[in-house]
Amino acid sequence: MKVLIIEDERPLAQGLLSILENCGRDIQVIGTAANIPDAVDLIRACPDLQLIFADIRIEDGYSFDVFGVVSTNALIVFTTAYEEYALKAFDYDCIDYVMKPYDMADIVSALEKYERRILHTGVDDARRAMDYLRGKPAQYRQRLELHRADSTRIVDTQEICYIEYELGSIRVFCNDKFSGCVDKSLSRLYEELNPDIFFKVSRNYIINISQVDRIRPTLKRNKLIQLKAPYQNVQIEVGMESVKALKGKLL
């Protein structure tokens, strides 16, 4: 398992590193970051990163800001001495919120939650495969209720071009340029959508596969996904692992 530590207090970073190295699991810590630029660089350099332990307050701001700059499919465990960030942390679909000072038992508990999340995903995939073999079609959401300040609209999921997480809200963009918010997490919504039509390309975006216009290189290892009109100006930076998985669906 590839793990990143975001922590600006060196003794705490070294302590967490020691716990991870001695917790009885096959863990490779790819690095530690004390600030936003270093964290962004490490995430971009490791597209197959699986888990991030992120202190919320770091030397140049908040680790939340890291995930506004770079996309990753890694799951997150937030660590902090401040309880007031708990609700915001779960907006980022974190799997655990560990209060400082923590010990090995706390970290092992977080790792077990990661393992259960991965196992749950595998069980869901297996269940869908069994339903297919039995001739029972999987049931996916056909319509969504989208909310705006002035109205609520019911849309067919086929009308959706892409879905974005931003500033604590999940906004859905439709092919007629209508957009509205839904009252659920991005991960939960993704579970309800047909995987033959939709793909979660990063922590912040789900796209309708048919709306991909082109995939462009960047100066780094990541790629840019450009969508078709009317969202031709939308460009989503994604890691190489997501690109490989997306190409498997496109081809």
What is the band of 133 on the pLDDT scale with cuts at 50, 70, 90? low
> What are the two backbone dihedrals, phi and then psi, of residue 233, each rounded to the nearest 5 degrees?
-90, -5
Query: Given a cut of 90, is residue 72 above it in pLDDT?
Result: no
Percent residues over pLDDT 70 in the chain: 87
- Here the tokens at position 19 are 């716990």
The per-residue pLDDT for range 5-44, each reduced to its tens digit, is 999 999 999 999 999 999 989 999 999 999 999 999 999 9
What is the band of 135 on the pLDDT scale with cuts at 50, 70, 90? low
- Here the tokens at position 115 are 């393992």
pLDDT of residue 87: 57
The per-residue pLDDT for range 208-248, each reduced to its tens digit, is 999 999 999 887 778 899 999 999 999 998 887 788 888 88
pLDDT of residue 245: 81
Angle, to 10 degrees, between the axis of helix 10-21 and the axis of helix 104-133? 50
pLDDT of residue 124: 53
β partners of residue 171: 164, 181
d(CA 1, CA 26) in angstroms, rounded, equals 6
Percent residues over pLDDT 90 in the chain: 51
What is the band of 186 on the pLDDT scale with cuts at 50, 70, 90? confident
Other beta carbons less than 10 A from residue 204's beta carbon: 22
SS (H, E, C) the chain: CEEEEECCCHHHHHHHHHHHHCCCCCCEEEEEECCHHHHHHHHHHCCCCCEEEEECEECCEEHHHHHHHCCCCCEEEEEECCHHHHHHHHHCCCCEEEECCCCHHHHHHHHHHHHHHHHHHHHHHHHHHHHHHCCCCCCCCCEEEEECCCCEEEEEHHHEEEEEEECCEEEEEECCCCEEEECCCHHHHHHHCCCCCEEECCCCEEEEHHHEEEEEECCCCCEEEEECCCCCCCEEEECHHHHHHHHHHHC
Contact (CB, 8 A) for 218 and 239: no
d(CA 58, CA 79) in angstroms, rounded, equals 11
Q: Which domains does the chain have, with CATH numbers?
A: 2-128 (3.40.50.2300), 143-250 (2.40.50.1020)
Flag whether the pTM goes above 0.75. Answer: no
What is the band of 195 on the pLDDT scale with cuts at 50, 70, 90? confident
Residue 101, preceding peptide bond in cis (omega within 30° of 0): yes
Contact (CB, 8 A) for 98 and 106: yes
Q: What is the mean pLDDT of residues 106-134?
A: 70
d(CA 251, CA 247) in angstroms, rounded, equals 6
